[in-house]
Structures are given as C-alpha cells and as structure tokens.
Amino acid sequence: MIITTRQGHAIESRAFALTDMVRWGYGGLRNLQTQVGDRELRGIPALSRAARLRAEQVAKLKLCCWRGEGPTKQRVDSVWQAHLFSNGPRINATNRQQTRFEFWETVEESLSWHNEAYIWKTLGDNGQVIDWWALHPAQVITRYEGTKVLYDVQMAAGYVDPVGRGPGRYVGLDSSTILAIRGHGQGGQIEANPLYAVFRDKLAATLGRQRHEARMWRRGTALQVAI
C-alpha cells in the first residue's frame, strides 16, 4: 500500500470493517442476531405446510351439542349453542365475515404460530352468544388488573371487526366478551409463550442458513472485492 508520494506528502489512509456498513442498511453479517417471529417462520416451507395442514384438518371437524353420556348420549340441535357450530347470519357462516371453516381455521392457525387464540363473543339481551369472531392474536393484549384478567383489543384495517365501527381500541374487556384459548406451556401463566420464542436458537440457525443460501444464489459465483 502506498502511503506517501515521491514528494514526501502523506496520503490519508482509512480502513473500515463490514460492521461499519450496518448504518447504511447492510444486513449480511454472520454475527448479527437473526430475527425470529411468526412472519419469518412462515417463510420456512416445512413449518408453513405443517401449520396449514393442522389448521385445515381442525377446520374440517364437525362440532355439535350433545346431551347425556355414554350409550345414552344424544345429539341436540335445538339449543341456542348449536348454531355457533353450524350456521350463523348466513348459510354456513359463524359471523358476517367468517364462514365456519374460516373461523376454526383462524383459531387453529393462531394456536399453531402464536400458541394463543382469541374469540370475540357478541352477546344478546338475554346473555346468549349471538355470534363469535376469531381474532388475530396481534389484536389482543392480555393483562392483569388486580385479580382480574382483562383484554385490550385493537380494531384496525385488514382485521375482522366484530363491532363494525372501524379502527379503534376497546379496553378492559373480560371473559364475557373475549374467550381466550391458551396453548401448551408455561403453566401458571395467563399466556403461553409462542413456539418461535421457546425454540428461538434452533429456528434462528435454520433461518440463518436459509438466508445465507439465498444471498449466495443472488450473488452467483462471482467473487466480490472492494478496495
């Protein structure tokens, strides 16, 4: 490296590492922690396919109301709860936006990726459930207030809206409005950790390898050197 001219003038010499390029948006460093969330995991074909199979198989199940036990058990379609498992305001619908299949597929998909599922219940004057809506887990925040478990629900564009009033936030809802279906793990807590949080290190290695392969294909076989 030439650092002085023939006249003896010094040439300014600077050096930098790839870590200095992060400030300009460079994200190809191997030592950067891989972000792991449901959005990233959906890009892994095997996991995405497994979650889809699980959700679709559960959505195909036929739920009914029954009375009695053992050989005397009888199916009952006349009780008010039965319509929640069959038809709603429109044929084969659970609510105005979700069919029965879409409703239970959403519930099981939420359990697959987030280990939690939330259902909004619309109650009539007599306290019976008129219809119910499968929410996205990102809409719901669970919290304690004293000894009570409360839920804050965010309505936004792109998500189902049980109320129909557009974007807004509903604070302090209890179990009479929100049915929380808790996944497995973290016993004793009101929420279970999503699987991508439990297996973060293992999944980060898979995602890192997948992204490294993608970068190699984009660059091709040409060596890239900067001076």
pLDDT in tens, 173-219: 999 999 999 988 777 778 888 777 767 766 777 777 777 777 777 76
What is the longest distance spanned by two Cα atoms in the chain?
106
Specify the higher pLDDT residue, 10 or 148. 148
Collect all residues with Cβ–Cβ distance below 8 Å to 98 and sequence separation of at least 6. 106, 133, 134, 160
Domain ranges in the chain are 18-219
User: pLDDT band for position 28 (50/70/90)?
Assistant: low
Strands (E), 124-177: 129-135, 140-145, 148-155, 168-173
Cα–Cα nearest to 54, from 106, 103, 108: 108
Which tens digits make up the pLDDT trace of 67-96?
A: 999 899 999 988 888 888 876 556 667 788
State residue 92's pLDDT score.
Answer: 66
Token pair of 18 as six digits? 């790839």
* pLDDT mean across residues, the chain: 81
Give yes or no for a contact between 4 and 10, defined as CB atoms under 8 angstroms apart.
yes
What mean pLDDT is predicted for residues 19-47? 65
What whole-number distance in Å separates Cα of residue 216 and Cα of residue 187?
43
State residue 150's pLDDT score.
Answer: 95
State residue 59's pLDDT score.
Answer: 92
Q: What is the pTM of this model?
A: 0.72
State residue 190's pLDDT score.
Answer: 82
